[in-house]
Amino acid sequence: MSVTYIDAIRQAMTELLEEDPAVFLMGEDIAGKFGGAFKATKGLDARFPGRVLNAPIAEDAIMGMGIGAALEGMKPILEMQFADFGILALNQMGNNAGAHYYRTGIPLNLTLRMPCGGTPAGGPYHSQCPESLFAHFPGLHVFTPATVADAYFMLKEAVRIPDPVVFMEHKFLYRWLKADSWIDPEPLPVGSVRIARPGRDATVVAFSAMVPEALQAAELLQRECGYELEVVDLRCIKPLDVGGILGSVARTGRLLVVSEDFPWGGVAAEVISAVTTEGFHLLDAPPLRITAPDTPIPYHPDLWKAHRPGAAKIAQTARYLITL
Amino acid sequence: MVTARAFDTKISALYKAGKIFGGVFLGRGHEAIAAAEGVFLHKGQDVYAPFIREQAGRCAWGDSVLESARAYFGSASGLMRGRDGNVHWGNPAEGTPAPISHLGAGVAVVGGAMLAKRMKGQTGCVGLACVGDGTTSVGAFQEAANMIAVQKLPVVIVISNNQFAYSTPNSQEFACKSLTDRGIGYGYTVHECDGTDFLSTLQTMGQAIASARTGEGPQWVVANTLRMCGHGEHDDSCYIPQELKDAYADRDPLAVASRQLRELGWITEDEDAALAAECAEEVQRCVAQAQKEAPPAPASENWVATSWNPEHEEQ
């Protein structure tokens, strides 16, 4: 049997609703026969009546309501339809939910599902990866699963963890990424990087939809020139497993970070900053990064493909890095 | 109301003496409205979201002025432990969310709490969210007001229209004839009262809260008053026309309440004076205690913003 990334997300929500009466879902267009813009909640309203709630187009209020419900001991899973629109909830996310535990000592158990990332012809406002914006605020954990098993496991973890968790689920991976099962019998704990492919010549740090691209690049480079890239899947950008990244850099001496997001102040910059300040002596060459260019995400599929970091560019940059 | 006024007066004096770290925000002119909110709500059952001019509401709800004093002094023993302060304090475990500075953000929080209570099968409870005239312009407020109405939640939104959002008069804040129009538009049952008239405010608020409690859907109260002070104590309110201040000279809610209660024969002049003395003493005691308490200790601050982290997990 083959299952997809979005099947894993739906399965995790189904189990969470079954297991815990405090869990409920709220978001735009998620209830009824429709079951969400991406069908992540398809069938759940019928199966769990009264626990899958449609909301008006009001991202700020959806998030604010989630905070209020969490204060009453519920565990809301809020869907933002598109991460690009999730930005409209940023005040409630950062200033209210994120600050809450520090201010009051009371954690808020809520999960924000953010369908993110580029797809062909998504255009500037249905394609963004604003994870660094969310990670900027203290008090929010930000998960970026890159495998079917992590989509399932980390969503369940997001609800188990008593704090606000921003769950960045990549739309490109929804139906493209397949696996035999969503179950990993021995999942790595959240907060630990995963060595997606071991190698000795350079470390490529990636997350979300850039992990499959980095794996392809590693395959390409091995085939073409015999170089072995070590691909590190961050899995979770906040908290960031700096120790895990340094462990890989210690083995390879070279670092390339790949992020689909815009360059300025992004995850790639944060990873390079952490490695150069804490592991400068491990580096045999200057660390490099690949991000999208500093422009909005273009509409035309050809422009989009050129804007989005992909396997060919990763392979080319890694080859250059190894020669430094 | 009397305790709240005594507290405001004391904190204002301390501010002017340079004894308070940040801003000071008073409820002068809002006391009858706030007290009427708190007095009809039940701690432990309801949710009350006061904002910056609801000291009287906090007292009526049942919170000691000690917590308010602790918030101003940033006491380590206070609910916010010096991590937040002045009027930005709450006790979420007892039904008062900790407000953030962003206007309107607390309205959805109250809605969400009531949604959760409904899902848990709790009936007969009410959530009350306090906002001002300026907040009704904020997107977050309008999103929340709409969503609460769509969900038919037992929420009372109280708009204290004190005629000025900081320095901005109503004429530059909204173009509808009355703020009740907005409530009608969202599908609320609307109420309006003279927020300086103690008895009439009690009656209106009591009715609105009872209606929400008995399942009649969300309620919208516009309580009109004048802010009888600056936005904060740093502000001399020079933008409020003198004629307007004069017109409210005999409408101080405390004086009106005292007059009304004496006319009804519920309180004598002596009892009124004794009450004022008793409240002033309580304020004095609470402020003195908060001032004596240890401040937060930067050296032992843990600088941790989440309850979970992977290191804990491994232990």
- Residues B13-36 pLDDT 10s: 999 999 998 999 999 999 999 999
Taking residues B269-278, report their average pLDDT: 96
Taking residues A237-261, report their average pLDDT: 98
Q: Sort out which chain A residues have CB atoms less than 8 A from B304's CB and list them.
A: 102
Q: Quick check: B306 and A163 CB within 8 A?
A: yes
Residue-wise pLDDT for A75-98, tens only, equals 999 999 999 999 999 999 999 999
Whether residue B315 is predicted with pLDDT greater than 80 in this model: the reply is: no
> What is d(CA B24, CA B160) in angstroms, rounded to the nearest whole number?
19
Query: Can you state the percent helix, strand and coil of chain B, rounding each to 5?
Result: 50, 10, 40
Token pair, residue A227, equals 């170089």
Whether residue A126 is predicted with pLDDT greater than 80 in this model: the reply is: yes
Query: Can you state the percent helix, strand and coil of chain A, rounding each to 5?
Result: 45, 15, 40
**Best B308, B311, B314 residue to mutate vs chain A (most A CBs within 10 Å):** B308
Token pair, residue B184, equals 């009608």
Token pair, residue B311, equals 């290191």
- How far is the CA of B311 from the CAs of A108, A156, A192, A238, in angstroms? 20, 19, 10, 13
Q: Sort out which chain A residues have CB atoms less than 8 A from B309's CB and list them.
A: 191, 239
Q: Sort out which chain B residues have CB atoms less than 8 A from A188's CB and list them.
A: none
Among B147, B310, B314, whose Cβ lies nearest the Cβ of A65? B147
Q: Quick check: A61 and B98 CB within 8 A?
A: no
Q: Quick check: B111 and A61 CB within 8 A?
A: yes
Token pair, residue A183, equals 């179950």
Residues belonging to chain B: 315
DSSP state of B22: S
Among B106, B112, B114, whose Cβ lies nearest the Cβ of A66? B112
Q: Quick check: A51 and B119 CB within 8 A?
A: yes
For residue A1, the model assigns a pLDDT of 73
Q: Quick check: A68 and B117 CB within 8 A?
A: no
Reference A40, options A16, A15, A5, A88; nearest CA is A5
For residue A99, the model assigns a pLDDT of 98
Residue-wise pLDDT for A43-61, tens only, equals 999 999 999 999 999 999 9
For residue B100, the model assigns a pLDDT of 97
**What share of chain A in percent tops pLDDT 90?**
100
Whether residue A286 is predicted with pLDDT greater than 50 in this model: the reply is: yes
N- to C-terminal Cα separation, chain B? 51
Indicate if A126 belongs to the active site: yes
Residue A29 CB burial class (10 angstroms; 0-12, 13-18, ≥19)? middle
Whether residue B259 is predicted with pLDDT greater than 90 in this model: the reply is: yes
Q: If you search the block for the tokens 């004629």, which residue do you land on?
A: B243
CB A110 within 8 A of CB A149: no
**pTM, entire model:** 0.97
For residue A250, the model assigns a pLDDT of 98
> What is d(CA A248, CA A205) in angstroms, rounded to the nearest whole number?
9
> What is d(CA A100, CA B100) in angstroms, rounded to the nearest whole number?
9
Q: Calculate the average pLDDT of chain A.
A: 97
Q: Sort out which chain A residues have CB atoms less than 8 A from B146's CB and list them.
A: 56, 58, 61
**Best A67, A72, A157 residue to mutate vs chain B (most B CBs within 10 Å):** A72
pLDDT band at B314 (very low <50, low <70, confident <90, very high): low
Taking residues B84-92, report their average pLDDT: 96
Residues with Cβ within 8 Å of B124's Cβ and at least 6 positions away in sequence, in order, are: B45, B213
Residue-wise pLDDT for A29-45, tens only, equals 999 999 999 999 999 99
Whether residue A312 is predicted with pLDDT greater than 60 in this model: the reply is: yes
ipTM over 0.85: yes
pLDDT band at B313 (very low <50, low <70, confident <90, very high): low
